[in-house]
């Protein structure tokens, strides 16, 4: 049986990255997976060759309108749409279709959090697509509806989760994430122009305003009975891809660097896509560009009594499209790592 896949929002950054990964998926290369409809809104009628010359295998494909009629008849539909648009489409697709949503529509469990941060009615919660979180891999296997996590929560969650679960820290965490401009999407935006971003750093949506704040807190709360608080500050940096996250939290009692490292090494020992770096080696975004990896470092700041966690991901791969493919693999019964690179592009 050939699996037929559609991508809504195919001309955006997330959609293009999903396509890049699918083109190297072993099921596609074996003729067992077919790339079907590619849809969008403002680019309808354009060819992929015009929009994404880095995907020559699909250069002649024409972007269609995003409608349930075009997307129906596929086995898997990836939704790379703006927040708030996925629910309407998903409700019109059959329950036999695997729908993988890269927007935020179904990530949050608390309706009040959704309404506060997104300003519309909550449409429900789907299985959440960080397989490395305890219990989530089992939820994702065979799932027909999947919510892909946000890019910031991916880096922050993978950095903090082992420490919170092991009780190394008070779950009162401060997170600063430095991100490339592709995280803002492909839409025209004066603030994202090269002249506005080159040679400059800028914090934005600070003091609890960023929409990913409740998502980070929700993830950490799954592994502790204590109340979780998150102070999250995103910073825009002049690079196309990548997120560097630093997170700090007060230690609970005396914790040595060796003890903290063992917690992380044990937690991630069986995880293909999380790499705990050697002592003294700091994560850097250039190491994970184009890969589905998260690199993590853990250190004890004895003088301040805090644990310092650092992580890096490619926001378009592990942060979005790679996570979506990882979830598809689990849903369909492929090897979880199929089509997902561990090696980054360097220099």
Residues with active-site annotation: 151
Q: What is the layout of strands, in order, in the sheet containing 274-276?
A: 202-203, 229-236, 172-179, 243-250, 306-313, 294-301, 274-276
For residue 278, give Cα distances in angstroms to 177, 249, 297, 299.
22, 21, 8, 11
Token duo for residue 201: 């750093």
**Mapping DSSP to helix (H, G, I), strand (E, B) and coil, where does residue 281 land?**
coil
Q: Which residues pair with residue 297 across a beta bridge? A: 310
Q: Which two tokens stand for residue 340?
A: 């997902």
Task: Enter the tokens of residue 247.
Answer: 């997170």
Q: What are 140's two structure tokens?
A: 């994702």
| Residue 117, φ and ψ in degrees, nearest 5 | -90, -25
The Cα 332–Cα 180 span in angstroms is 32
- Which value, in Å, is the radius of gyration of the alpha carbons in the chain? 20
φ/ψ of 220, rounded to 5, equals -70, -35
**Is 249 in a helix, a strand, or coil?**
strand
Cα-based angle 175, 177, 181 (whole degrees, multiple of 5): 160
């Amino acid at each position: 049986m050939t699996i037929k896949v559609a991508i809504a929002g195919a001309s955006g950054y997330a959609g293009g990255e999903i396509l890049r990964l699918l083109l190297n998926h072993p099921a596609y290369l074996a003729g067992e997976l077919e790339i079907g409809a590619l849809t969008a809104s403002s680019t309808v009628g354009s060819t992929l060759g015009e929009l994404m010359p880095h995907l020559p295998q699909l250069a002649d494909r024409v972007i269609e309108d995003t409608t349930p009629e075009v997307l129906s008849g596929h086995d898997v539909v990836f939704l790379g749409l703006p927040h708030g648009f996925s629910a309407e489409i998903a409700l019109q697709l059959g329950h036999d279709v695997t729908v993988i949503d890269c927007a935020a529509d179904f990530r949050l469990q608390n309706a009040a959090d959704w309404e506060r941060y997104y300003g519309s009615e909550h449409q429900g919660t789907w299985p959440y697509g960080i397989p490395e979180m305890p219990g989530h891999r089992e939820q994702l296997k065979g799932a027909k509806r999947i919510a892909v996590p946000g890019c910031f929560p991916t880096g922050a969650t993978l950095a903090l989760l082992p420490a919170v679960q092991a009780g190394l820290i008070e779950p009162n965490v401060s997170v600063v994430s430095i991100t490339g401009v592709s995280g803002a999407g492909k839409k025209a935006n004066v603030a994202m122009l090269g002249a506005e971003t080159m040679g400059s750093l800028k914090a934005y949506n600070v003091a609890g305003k960023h929409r990913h704040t409740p998502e980070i807190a929700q993830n950490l709360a799954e592994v502790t009975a204590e109340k979780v608080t998150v102070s999250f500050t995103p910073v825009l940096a002049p690079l196309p891809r990548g997120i560097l996250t630093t997170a700090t939290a007060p230690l609970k009692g005396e914790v040595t660097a060796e003890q903290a490292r063992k917690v992380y090494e044990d937690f991630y020992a069986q995880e293909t896509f999380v790499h705990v770096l050697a002592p003294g080696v700091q994560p850097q975004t250039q190491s994970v560009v184009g890969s589905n990896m998260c690199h993590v470092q853990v250190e004890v700041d004895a003088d301040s009594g805090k644990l310092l966690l650092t992580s890096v991901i490619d926001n378009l791969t592990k942060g979005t499209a790679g996570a979506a493919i990882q979830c598809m693999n689990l849903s369909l019964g492929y090897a979880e790592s199929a089509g997902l690179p561990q090696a980054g592009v360097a220099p």
